Structure 1
Amino acid sequence: MTAFRRERADVLAELRALRDADAPTHGGRVLSYVYDSGLAELDELAAEAARLVQPVNGLDPTTFTSVAVMESQVLGFAREIFHGDDEVVGSVTSGGTESCLLAVKGAREAWRAARAGTPRTPRLVAPVTVHAAFQKAAAYFGLALDLVPVDPATGAVSPAAIEERLGDDVALVVVSAPSYPFATLDPVADVAAITAARGIRLHVDACIGGFALAFRSDEEPPLAPWDFRVPGVTTLSADLHKYGYAPKGVSVLLTRGRDLHRRQYFATTKWPGYPVVNPTMTGSKPAGPLAAAWAIIEALGVDGFRDLAGRAARATGVLRDAVEGIEGLRVVGSPVGPLLAVATDEGLPPERRVDPHHWADAARGLGWHLQLQPGLAQDDGAPLPRTTHLTVTPVTERVLDDLVPALRAAADEVRGAPPADGALLLVELAGGPEAAAGLAASAEGLDADGAALLLASFGLLGGNAPDGPEQGAASGALPERLAPVLALVEALPAELAERLLVELLARVVEPVAPSGRS
């Protein structure tokens, strides 16, 4: 009989204690990252469905035929609600990033096939607001990334601005429905008309909002077509682990045309093992998220999804009105929901303005977790404002009576406080302007220990520099106020900020001895 090192009850008790330190995933207190339907029975259904397929390997649907059945039915549901015809096929992936990566891979392979022998690097053209997953895709698959500036006031991109960037080296254009930073619905049909005329593929990234926008009620303002009703749309991604309310991670990537879809696959028989045929980036993969998504779709149906989308939409409308009524803040653009971004109302004198990052920190002190987004200098010189992001879910409707007063109280607490000045912070932390300039230029060649020293000097790894692998999360957590951290991100060159953030996250998970070791 196998002897266990620790008792089951002790292991689970420790895990519960670890979870107690997390931000709450249910109840509406976290307005990013989690998507709470507010239906406990739906969570229980998803958990039981995932448990039933826990041992299943999604690598081989010919051995585990349940995987093939569930995937085809999930894709069929997605194709129907996104108005695809019989030529639209797809894959279930591990999340939005993988869906985006595969869309780019397929477009790159099709571009290469049409231009055999062409030595040029293909380009990917998208608004600067497109999800960062496409920056990752360009880096992974060797495309030149061409980001088009958007209107700072609205977050919207001009079709003409995209058209100016097009050429025969463009493998893919990407637009969002809606964008994550500002919840702006990009002009999909206008862009599609331009790309289709040039024979360029167009991807619609509906990862965050697709499964909500598809179920908008007749009471909401109609949206311009953004899915496969638009003839020039060639691929579309949408996450079931967002407004499909499934556990992480499960997404769909739908593709118009079987030949383009097959270019997303990887296959090889050039080894002595089993033939490898992978429709996604992974080989072995869990069937649990797929089973959970399938079960939720079967349980809810169109009417259930429409009801949940209505709850999120109503809550979004209340929050938008509430923010617009808070002196010193403004909602960016015309968000289509169920998310929005909040910026400072620059039309007011400084003493009446509310910095969105100070506001988010104050709201966190009251028990509400909002997401801080840094400002960004676009290539055309037009700066995008620093904002605070709110993702709204059906459960938010239940907590509005507590949330709205908290948002007002948080604004009252910080109104008139000057925004955190990243450049000034950098000078203070570095010990002078010259030292700050040296730090700002030090990304190239910065090794792990050097990056850790910088983090420690910024107070992000405890008071002292790390001495070894044991220095991880225990050596210092992020400060309670995140506004200064985001201000530093804005002030530092992107390369240095990215290098430091990599080091910070890597230090948090450096190896430590397992708990309970005897």
Structure 2
Amino acid sequence: MNPAGRTTEELLAEVARLRSRDLPVRGGQVTAYVYDTGRAEVHEAAARAYFELLEVNCLDPTAFPSVVELERQVVGAVADLLGGGHGIFTSGGTESIMLAVKAARDAAHDAAHRARPNLVLAVSAHPAFHKAAHYLGVEVVAVPVDLETYKVRARDVADAIDENTIMVVASAPSYPQGVIDPVEEVAAVAAAAGVPCHVDACVGGWLLPWLRAAGAAVPPFDLSVPGVTSLSCDLHKFGYAPKGASVVLFADPAMRRKAYFASAAWPGYTIVNATVQSSRSAGPLGGAWATLQALGREGYLELGRATLEATVRLREGLARIPGLRVLGEPESSLVAFAGDGIDVFVLADEARERGWFLQPQLSYAGIPANLHITVTGVTLAGVEDLLKVIAESAEAARERGPVVLPEGLVELVAATDLEALDEADFAELASSVGVDLRPEAGQPEMATVNAILDALPAAAREAVLVRFLSAVYAI
């Protein structure tokens, strides 16, 4: 920290320098993490509204009534689109999911004490449910997906439900392959067992209705489906709002109240929170509100049409590239493809060299390693360029061949007590497989790292990833 302080110009120049190694957030060449309308004026409106509300604190809505009105409008828009309900504006899908799990856990506890509450979900359900379960003392019962459709089967869900089940989960869509679980069937078996059913529509909630309007065949998935009791929908994904914007809806207002937290067991100010956070900026709420208002229904319809067309062209183009195949029949704009005779991790590195980021996904539960692409409103303008890069990268990966790991390396990593290593030792271990963790080193080739992770069991993967994150942030 500078003792004398620094000027605004100096600070912004430093931010620009630090961001020079970041992936671009506009233009569509990063096919994960960011969502771009291609309309600068919309993002500008959101940024300005975000800034205007930056210092407004959502902690006390009686002190800042603008928070109440903006949240009513934003949550109301989501409810209108997704079958009604009573909602809470949150910081993202993970928080929305955590609140849904808390509400189900507390409701179940009130009804009949469960010593070992559990969630029943597919292996393709987002890890945010595992995170919520970890924080809230809930077990996860994971069931397989059909390895042709990549969807969960309602009969497997029914078989997994027991007297300790507090919630069943369906995804619309599941992120890995972009397919929609049979929500009507899953919700029916949950209702028959007297168990709440949550639909994870964090990705699809503000996408699928517009794809349906553009002509896509989208099955029922929202709160209008009998048996669906809650739903999560991220506005910082296909709502194109700035990060930190999601909504969780509950069919029953009594269940929404179970998501709240209140405490009067202290002599200070009144504590009642709708979210996990207490103090939080209203900036994301303002940004989400402004984005919805700036785009309007017609804007989202046009984005839906462009997204659907780009997705169709991407899938058709991938089918023409030798050695690549799309996994399943995606009903959304999330597309995953695997390689036959092509190492997809090498392909991803080749694409990165050409300026495009494709998201690697490790093999799991019978699903092969693959690359994931999230098609957004801006993708259509560059879809042919994307396909050209994928084709070139696939050919280069074929010529390079798959990653060949040194004999015994995977076993060595699996057997290493990572907790016994300090940050320097772990950085040295990472360097031995070609990963330089120094900030100035930039983005390393990740094919070898992904190949190692892919060969490890899930628990070992998680241990490596935790140490990796710790080493990245080491001071």
Verify: 1:420 aligned to 2:366, yes or no: no
**Tell me, what secondary structure is at the counterpart of 1:354?**
coil
- Alpha-carbon distance in 1 for matches of 2:464, 2:34: 26
Gapped regions of structure 1 (runs ≥ 5) = 346-352, 431-435, 463-471, 512-518
Match of 1:441 among 387, 392, 415: 415
Matches for 1:66-215 after TM superposition, within 5 Å: 66-84=66-84, 88-116=85-113, 118=114, 120-215=115-210
The equivalent of 2:449 in structure 1 is 485
Instruction: For residues 13-71 of structure 1, give each alpha carbon's deviation from its aligned partner in whole angstroms, at most 9, with x where no partner exists.
Output: 11111112110000111000000010000010001101111220111111000000000
Residues 1:444 and 1:395: Cα distance change in structure 2 (over 3 Å): closer
Asked if the contact 1:341–1:389 (Cα under 8 Å) also holds between the matched residues in 2, the reply is: yes
Asked if the contact 1:95–1:250 (Cα under 8 Å) also holds between the matched residues in 2, the reply is: yes
Offset of 1:325 from its aligned partner? 0.9
The equivalent of 2:342 in structure 1 is 354
Gapped regions of structure 2 (runs ≥ 5) = none
**Tell me, what secondary structure is at the counterpart of 1:326?**
coil
The equivalent of 1:514 in structure 2 is none
Verify: 1:303 aligned to 2:278, yes or no: no
Residues 1:219 and 1:273: Cα distance change in structure 2 (over 3 Å): closer
Matches for 1:19-34 after TM superposition, within 5 Å: 19-34=19-34
The aligned length equals 473
Matches for 1:390-401 after TM superposition, within 5 Å: 390-401=373-384
Asked if the contact 1:452–1:503 (Cα under 8 Å) also holds between the matched residues in 2, the reply is: no
- Alpha-carbon distance in 2 for matches of 1:360, 1:109: 44
Offset of 1:136 from its aligned partner? 0.5
Give the aligned residue type for 1:415: R
Residues 1:328 and 1:172: Cα distance change in structure 2 (over 3 Å): same
- Alpha-carbon distance in 2 for matches of 1:457, 1:114: 55
**Tell me, what secondary structure is at the counterpart of 1:312?**
helix
**Tell me, what secondary structure is at the counterpart of 2:35?**
coil
Match of 1:506 among 462, 470, 473: 470
- Alpha-carbon distance in 2 for matches of 1:448, 1:106: 40
Asked if the contact 1:319–1:404 (Cα under 8 Å) also holds between the matched residues in 2, the reply is: yes
- Alpha-carbon distance in 2 for matches of 1:29, 1:355: 21
- Alpha-carbon distance in 2 for matches of 1:143, 1:203: 15
Instruction: Give me the CA root mean square deviation.
Output: 1.9
Higher RCO (Cα < 8 Å, 6 or more apart): 2
Residues 1:337 and 1:426: Cα distance change in structure 2 (over 3 Å): farther
Q: Give the TM-score taking structure 2 as reference length.
A: 0.95
Match of 2:215 among 212, 217, 220: 220
- Alpha-carbon distance in 2 for matches of 1:307, 1:124: 38
Instruction: For residues 355-401 of structure 1, give each alpha carbon's deviation from its aligned partner in whole angstroms, at most 9, with x where no partner exists.
Output: 2222222111111111001111x2xxxx2100100011111111123
Offset of 1:332 from its aligned partner? 0.4
The equivalent of 1:458 in structure 2 is 433
Matches for 1:396-415 after TM superposition, within 5 Å: 396-415=379-398
Offset of 1:416 from its aligned partner? 5.8
Residues 1:276 and 1:147: Cα distance change in structure 2 (over 3 Å): same
Give the aligned residue type for 2:382: V
Instruction: For residues 85-137 of structure 1, give each alpha carbon's deviation from its aligned partner in whole angstroms, at most 9, with x where no partner exists.
Output: xxx10100000110111111111111111113x4x211111010000101101
Residues 1:154 and 1:448: Cα distance change in structure 2 (over 3 Å): farther
- Alpha-carbon distance in 2 for matches of 1:444, 1:40: 46
**Tell me, what secondary structure is at the counterpart of 2:228?**
coil
**Tell me, what secondary structure is at the counterpart of 1:135?**
helix
Offset of 1:354 from its aligned partner? 2.4
Give the aligned residue type for 1:24: P
Give the aligned residue type for 1:278: N
The equivalent of 2:359 in structure 1 is 371
- Alpha-carbon distance in 1 for matches of 2:31, 2:390: 12
- Alpha-carbon distance in 1 for matches of 2:188, 2:56: 44
Seq. identity, %: 42
